[in-house]
Structure 1
Amino acid sequence: MSLDVINRHSEALFEFLWCPVCGHEVFSYIPFEGVFCKDCNTQVELQESQEDRGYEEAVLACFDTDTTWNLHVDEKLRRDLPGGSARVKILGAPGAYEIDWWSPEPNEDWDPVERGEFNDMEEPAEVSHLA
């Protein structure tokens, strides 16, 4: 008897994703624990969307800051998620992904960190010991 493994979420999806808390693009998978941002430890969980509107893939990426370390938003170059979580719907196919929507919707009170937004900024020395 053999077991069929269905790979629903390809590496290409994680190459497209970035963390809306810190803007970094590298994620770590810890077996039996989940997937986490390698920089700030924000957890990400992928779910299949119930509707795909004809796209090859439709995925919900759910970010949760319960596990995020040192969330000093102003000092550590991170932006907290409203209520500690946010979701993004991604449509497309490997190499051609696009964002359909964020929940909650970005507004003047919250805007997800863009990919690499803080890459050229240095962390203040007085809080570097917290990392």
Structure 2
Amino acid sequence: MTLEVRDRHNEALFEFLWCPVCGQEIFTHIPFEGVFCKNCNTQVELQEPRETRGYEEAVLACFDTATTWNLHVEEKLRRDLPDGSARVKLFGAPDAYEVAWWSPEPGEDWKPVERGEFDDIEEPSEVSHLA
């Protein structure tokens, strides 16, 4: 019996992804634990979707806020996910990824933080040491 090993880490995909809770683009991998947003600790898990529609690559990125810290401290710098989780489907190839859809769909009640949306807002000193 042989064991087939696949490299599922895709550097280009993580360069495209951003956290829908805080808008940051830097993720940290903790072996045997998962991948987390370096800024707010939101967990991201990559899954293969059931269909690709002819694209070179299709990926589901599932975000979960069970491990996210301080959402209640400064809501202006973070936006919680509906029911604590959200998924985004990405199509494309390295350097040409595009968002196909979000689940739940963004609307009046929820929308993901855009990449770098809070970059120009200064976090109060009484909050920054907690995150």
Q: TM-score, normalised by structure 2?
A: 0.93
Identify the residue that residue 114 of structure 2 maps to in structure 1.
114
Offset at 1:126?
3.1
Whole-Å separation in 1 of the counterparts to 2:6 and 2:112? 31
- Which range moved further: 73-82 or 22-31? 73-82
| Mapping of residues 23-62 of structure 1, within 5 Å | 23-62=23-62
Correspondence 1:128 to 2:128: yes
Secondary structure (helix, strand or coil) at the match of 1:35 reads: strand
2:80 corresponding residue in structure 1: 80
Residue of structure 1 equivalent to 2:71:
71
Query: Percentage identity across aligned positions?
Result: 80
Note if contact 1:37-1:44 (Cα within 8 Å) is conserved in structure 2: yes
Counterparts of 2:127 and 2:38, CA distance in 1: 18
Give 5+ residue unaligned stretches, structure 1: none
Q: CA deviation at 1:130?
A: 2.1
**RMSD across aligned C-alpha pairs, in angstroms?**
1.7
Query: Partner amino acid for 2:25?
Result: E
- Give aligned pairs, total: 131
The answer for unaligned runs of 5 or more in structure 2 is: none
Question: Aligned partners of 1:73 and 1:80: how far apart in 2?
Answer: 12
**Match of residue 104 from structure 1:** 104
Looking at structure 2, the residues matched to 38 and 125 of structure 1 have their Cα atoms a distance apart, in angstroms, of: 19
2:20 match:
20
CA distance in structure 1 between the aligned counterparts of 2:90 and 2:59, rounded to whole angstroms: 5
- Amino acid of the residue matched to residue 10 of structure 1? N
CA distance in 1, matches of 2:8, 2:29: 15
Partner deviation per Cα, 1:84-129 (whole Å, 9 max, x = no partner): 0000000000010000000000001100000000011101233233
Rounded Cα–Cα distance in structure 1 between residues aligned with 2:92 and 2:73: 32
SS in 1 for 2:54: coil
Moved over 3 A (4+): 1-4, 73-76
Q: Which amino acid is the alignment partner of residue 53 of structure 2?
A: R
Shift of 1:6: 1.5
